[in-house]
Amino acid sequence: MCEANAYVAVNGSEDLVMESLDRVEPQPDGAFLLVDIFGKQREITGAIQEIDLLNKRIVVVRSEA
């Protein structure tokens, strides 16, 4: 399995917001919908900072806390 972890970076520190990430879907309002392999969903606001597939990291810089 090749799922990754999603992190949100706020003020330079990263928080793990979702493990076993299946996919990331940009939303019309600029947010990102995260969906894990179990179907759990979480929407986060921000901009993609990094997609690192080998290290299984997707980092979103949050624009609002």
Q: Closer to a second copy at the Cβ: 15 or 48?
A: 48
Question: At its nearest, how many Å lie between a second copy and the CB of residue 27?
Answer: 12
Question: At its nearest, how many Å lie between a second copy and the CB of residue 19?
Answer: 12
With binding defined as CB under 8 A, does residue 33 bind a second copy? no
Q: Closer to a second copy at the Cβ: 15 or 47?
A: 47
Please name which of 21, 26, 23 lies closest in space to residue 44, comparing C-alpha atoms.
Answer: 26
Task: Compute the half-sphere exposure of residue 14: CA atoms within 13 Å on the CB side of its CA.
Answer: 12
Q: Is the dihedral of CA 49, 53, 54, 56 positive or negative?
A: positive
